[in-house]
Structure 1
Amino acid sequence: MRFAAKHSSTVGPCALASGLLWATATMATTVTAPPPTPPDLPGEVVAPTATEARGLRQTWAVRDGRLWVRPDGPDATWAPLHGTGKPVGKGLEPFVDASLVAVTADADGRFAAVGSDGTIFHYEGSWNAVWGPPFLPFTQGVVKLPFPKTSLREGRLAYSQRHKAVGWSEDARGQQFYWGSAGTTSLYLLSDDGRRIFLLDPWLPPDTTRELVGPGDGTVTMAALAASA
């Protein structure tokens, strides 16, 4: 805010010895132009890659460190998420300039993204860099990839968010499990050697110590993984 004062020869109730004091305030506003739309954004994502993903009603893509989204619809166009394509929101000030390198998505407007320093973000209506039970804030923290970001490729990350329309899940033996209306969010990460699957959940402690046993009790080398619902 900038103030300017000038004198007037008019004498009034607020007069100074040499005249009236006038003040004008000028508010400086900064308008940031939206980033240019990358020319190589996909038309359709059939199989996800490290930088392209398909949700229930959106398509996602990471380009030049930003996350772009295109909703379904014949006239829909690509736009950077929240105008910047960067993590924004309460408590995310250290990450506003984060350069994103990967995205994996599921359900409606839900995804996980990875920053260039390995930080894993999750999004369920708003950006979040914190993992851990919200009712135990002292256990919360940031989680990073359990492998170098340089080894990111398709099939290394798989985000799963139980859709509202899904009332139950089924295992490989055909056994059905009913979850009611409770939501379930999981992020699966495949290890470098393809023998281990790490599990992350926004409500579990922020680390990558939880694992799922792979096929053949961990004796089979997996090339990729995928998840949904």
Structure 2
Amino acid sequence: MSARAIGRTAVLAAVALVFAGMTTHSVTVADPGCAPVGTVGTPEVTVDESTAGLEALAPAAVDLPEQVWFRTTAESFNRRWSFATRGGQVYVKEAAVLGGWRTVELPGCLAGRVAGVSADDDEVMAIDRDGRFFTMDHALSAPRDWNWSSRYGTPLWTGPGNTLPPGTLAWTWSVLSPNEDHVWRDTAGNDHPVGGAKVSHVFALTHDGRRIQYVDPWLPVDHSYEMATPHGGRFQAVALSTSASTSLVVNRFGDFYTRLYDFDISGADKVFFRYSYEDQRGLPEAPDMLAERVDGRYAAIQLPAPDWMRQPKVPGEITDRISVHKTGPGSAARELRVEGRDGGRNGFWTKRLTDESWTFVATGQPLVGTVLENSATDRSADTPTTPSPYDYMGVSPQGWSAQVRAFDVAVTPTPLRITFGDGDGLDLILHTVDGLRQMPQEPGISSQPRQFDGTIELSADLLTSLDAQPAAVRDFVRNILGGKRFTDTSVAVTGTGFHIAALGLSLNRS
């Protein structure tokens, strides 16, 4: 759990209740010898807008750019500061000033071992050579306020630490905060307060660019949570950048997609947030998180979560050095950048999230990324992938059968086919959300049961014309689904079985 609902005090109290009496049997993470809890993960109460403490840092003795234009893991920035890593160290300068780099003081266990750094909002994530996470907090304040921690995971960001998922091709740090972002917008067009805390994730591009795993510091120490790439996971990305829960990906053909998504936005955090698949358009927005959570007169968070949005093609040469950063409050306040060339000039192409076209900014800096093909046509589905092998089927005592094909933990919704004994059929939609867990879960589908929050959706047209449907369909909708368009259900999945509680039916791998 990252950004939580009702205010900072209520957040911590509620989480304490969730985890009370529980132990964490997490994956083993070697303690690097410095793991202060500090104040990592808490919202900034006050921010020192001065540069106090900067003058005490030693001037950088390495060659660094005068300006940082991209949020990568070699160089990064937030609203106030630019960061870079060279030779295992971290360097900082004022973002609005050319040059002036100084050496960041690091914990002894991290100094000389930094392999990557990513800044967003008031936090900086550093990864050491073993892939371990180190977080620096208060990164929008003066350097004298900065503090480091290797803690990560349950409870309350005080766990033993975590690492990048195996096979990570690219990673990025993302922070959605009440102080900087204020609100985010769902698919019904309603704005929702970020809450009393923040949403912080490491997003990692894995599995040859076909999966995105995200690692939240308030969730168990594992690598189980995923966000599918575009086209139901068939899109093969070569680069990833995320800021304030907005991810930007590109493939080798220069096709760009963005998506607003994190643990809370996905629908997973039902302890602190109220979600609904019912149409929330036109309902008033709640004045605060408490009212939104408990008062049904206000709009709930619309599900399903926002999907990937295709971005226009860049009209020029580009590389795989991409970047997204926040520019102000609200989930539309994002700027996209991609390194490239125009008319023989080096620089970057840029656009605001909702702009219809890109513009070019010349920097004169040499190109660093790998040049992409950037086809003039959409080739986002031109990287064939094998469908998920997890097909399930079961027969009820009443004689009707249910079938789920190519189930994927990161892809939703999934078609759910009901077939009756007389040959009539009913096509339903099964929405699944990877819910809140307190114990580590193996990635993907395995012999360990994986629990989902599910919702069965019935076509609105079919519900309207129910009296005209075959008898078997009418009876199923009325008796099993209660005559409702949306039916909530728990779903449990293993490599051999698939249980849908609302149907009272267990399906077997087929």
Q: Given the two structures, how large is their TM-score scaled by the length of structure 1?
A: 0.68
C-alpha deviation, 1:175, in angstroms = 5.0
Q: Are 1:217 and 2:235 an aligned pair? A: no
Equivalent position SS for 2:209 = coil
C-alpha deviation, 1:62, in angstroms = 0.2
Unmatched 5+ stretches in structure 2: 1-56, 139-146, 245-510
> 2:81 — aligned with what?
58
Alpha-carbon contact 2:59-2:102 (below 8 Å) kept: no
> 1:142 — aligned with what?
161
Alpha-carbon contact 2:210-2:236 (below 8 Å) kept: yes
Equivalent position SS for 2:192 = strand
Q: Are 1:170 and 2:189 an aligned pair? A: no
C-alpha deviation, 1:181, in angstroms = 3.3
Q: Distance in 2 between matches of 1:221 and 1:162?
A: 26
> 2:126 — aligned with what?
113
Q: Are 1:38 and 2:52 an aligned pair? A: no
C-alpha deviation, 1:44, in angstroms = 1.6
Q: Distance in 2 between matches of 1:212 and 1:198?
A: 6
Equivalent position SS for 1:47 = coil
Equivalent position SS for 2:196 = coil
Q: Distance in 1 between matches of 2:193 and 2:156?
A: 25
Q: Distance in 2 between matches of 1:136 and 1:43?
A: 35
C-alpha deviation, 1:214, in angstroms = 2.1
> 1:72 — aligned with what?
95
C-alpha deviation, 1:49, in angstroms = 2.8
Alpha-carbon contact 2:156-2:218 (below 8 Å) kept: no
Q: Distance in 1 between matches of 2:237 and 2:204?
A: 11
Q: Distance in 2 between matches of 1:99 and 1:78?
A: 19
Alignment equivalent of 2:152, drawn from 131, 136, 148: 131
C-alpha deviation, 1:111, in angstroms = 1.3
Equivalent position SS for 1:217 = helix
CA pair 54-73 structure 1, distance change in 2 beyond 3 A: closer
Alpha-carbon contact 2:77-2:95 (below 8 Å) kept: no
Residues 144-163 of structure 1 aligned to structure 2 (within 5 Å) = 144-147=163-166, 151=169, 156-163=170-177
Q: Aligned AA for 1:221?
A: Q
CA pair 198-130 structure 1, distance change in 2 beyond 3 A: same
Equivalent position SS for 1:203 = coil
> 1:7 — aligned with what?
none
- What is the total number of aligned residue pairs between the two structures? 179
C-alpha deviation, 1:104, in angstroms = 1.1
Could you report, residue by residue, the CA deviation over 1:32-89 in whole angstroms, capped at 9, with x for unpaired residues? x9585202x122222233311111211010011001111234477211112xxx3x2x
Equivalent position SS for 1:193 = helix
CA pair 184-221 structure 1, distance change in 2 beyond 3 A: same
Q: Distance in 2 between matches of 1:117 and 1:146?
A: 11
Which stretch of the first structure deviates more once superposed, 207-216 or 128-137? 128-137
Q: Distance in 1 between matches of 2:225 and 2:96?
A: 39
Residues 82-121 of structure 1 aligned to structure 2 (within 5 Å) = 82=105, 86=106, 88=107, 95-108=109-122, 110-121=123-134
Q: Are 1:187 and 2:202 an aligned pair? A: yes
Q: Distance in 2 between matches of 1:114 and 1:38?
A: 20
Unmatched 5+ stretches in structure 1: 1-32
Alpha-carbon contact 2:83-2:93 (below 8 Å) kept: yes
Q: Distance in 2 between matches of 1:34 and 1:162?
A: 31
> 1:28 — aligned with what?
none
Query: Alignment identity in percent?
Result: 27
Equivalent position SS for 2:242 = coil
Alpha-carbon contact 1:52-1:61 (below 8 Å) kept: yes
Could you report, residue by residue, the CA deviation over 1:12-41 in whole angstroms, capped at 9, with x for unpaired residues? xxxxxxxxxxxxxxxxxxxxx9585202x1
> 1:23 — aligned with what?
none
Q: Distance in 2 between matches of 1:177 and 1:141?
A: 32
Instruction: State the structure with bigger RCO (CA 8 A, min sep 6), 1 or 2.
Output: 1
Q: Aligned AA for 1:197?
A: I
Q: Distance in 2 between matches of 1:97 and 1:60?
A: 15
Q: Distance in 2 between matches of 1:171 and 1:225?
A: 22
CA pair 75-210 structure 1, distance change in 2 beyond 3 A: closer
Equivalent position SS for 2:82 = strand
Q: Distance in 2 between matches of 1:63 and 1:103?
A: 10
C-alpha deviation, 1:171, in angstroms = 4.8
C-alpha deviation, 1:223, in angstroms = 2.1
C-alpha deviation, 1:177, in angstroms = 3.2
> 1:25 — aligned with what?
none
Equivalent position SS for 1:227 = strand
Q: Distance in 2 between matches of 1:136 and 1:64?
A: 28
Q: Distance in 2 between matches of 1:175 and 1:196?
A: 29
Alpha-carbon contact 1:69-1:79 (below 8 Å) kept: yes
Alignment equivalent of 1:122, drawn from 127, 131, 135: 135
CA pair 37-134 structure 1, distance change in 2 beyond 3 A: farther
